[in-house]
Amino acid sequence: MSQNVAFIGLGIMGLPMAKNLLNAGFAVKGFNRSQKAIDDLVAAGGEGATSIADAVKDADIVITMVPDSPDVEAVVTGAEGVFANAKAGALWIDNSSIRPDVSVNLAAAAREAGLRPLDAPVSGGEQGAIDGVLSIMVGGEQADFDAASAALNAVGKTIVLVGPSGSGQTVKAANQLIVAANIQALSEAVVFLEAYGVDTDSAIKVLGGGLAGSAVLNQKAQKILDREFAPGFRLALHNKDMGIVTSAAREAGVVLPLGALVAQLVTSTVASGDGALDHSGLFRGVQRLSGKVDETVSA
């Protein structure tokens, strides 16, 4: 690859994604708030940037992977931001999960700045990022999607253009609704099984082979059984995403009764101090409601 990539946001997901771009032959220059992540990228063969402006000045593709809508706005706007410093014609791929309305507005601003925006939130967690098999839902123009295909294929496996700008974020919100509801149901099932002294390993095996089987069960059941909640995706971030779902639903005039309940359960778990845990830590919320919470967890 002859393309230069600026990667802004080298966190749990961003750093392995940047490394996969390096492995695919892209030249990657990264920036992050903490220096250690930049050093890790350099150790993998990338280049470290001293600022956002420094990262993007020669980039053909700019990728942002930061936690929330205000974080994206902060890195792309202003005199030191992406829009003011990236070269005309560069692709801007936002892999963050943010509000669809913010994504639409930022895409318009990007086009005014001469950039080609794609909102491209990802699903698959830390392991999916490490393995380069993320599911990526993309909003934007077909020509820009086609131009970004090599970079997207370096980090993902299932990559679909789902509509115009903002559509990727809308689909990601739906994804987070489904995932949270599945983790909540799995958590309740495990608490139920344990209350009856069932061999939970065997139970999960047989449940996974039937209609109850799911990617959530495959990836999260063992973490729950082991009480091992090191974050692949933090509960605090899923709480943010459920806020996006419920807010967007109100704006669209649609009713999500299960989504609203699960959003409250996620918020409760975060408010109880578990926001830094993996979202499989929803299990602890079910335990609390049942008077069975473990006070020692691995995170």
| Domains with residue ranges and CATH for the chain | 4-163 (3.40.50.720), 171-289 (1.10.1040.10)
Residue 2 clears pLDDT 70, i.e. is over it: no
The model's pLDDT over 29-42, given as tens digits with 9 standing for 90+, comes to 999 999 999 999 99
Q: Where in the sequence numbering do the catalytic residues fall?
A: 172
Mean pLDDT across 67-95: 97
Contact predicate 5/63, CB 8 Å:
yes
Mean pLDDT across 200-211: 98
Residue 298 clears pLDDT 60, i.e. is over it: no
Mean pLDDT across 18-33: 98
Which residue did the predictor score with more confidence, 50 or 299? Answer: 50
Mean pLDDT across 218-235: 95
Contact predicate 121/136, CB 8 Å:
yes
Mean pLDDT across 264-275: 97
Residue 86 clears pLDDT 60, i.e. is over it: yes
Residue 236 clears pLDDT 50, i.e. is over it: yes
Q: Provide, rounded to the nearest whole percent, the portion of the chain with pLDDT above 70.
A: 98
Q: What is the pLDDT of residue 293?
A: 76
Q: What is the pLDDT of residue 294?
A: 74
Burial readout 72-94 (b: 16 or more C-beta within 10 A, e: otherwise): bbebbeeeebbbebbeeebbbbb
Residue 295 clears pLDDT 70, i.e. is over it: no
Q: Rounded to 5 degrees, what are φ and ψ at 25?
A: 105, 0
Q: What is the pLDDT of residue 1?
A: 46
Give strand pairing partners of 22: none
Provide the mean pLDDT of the chain: 96
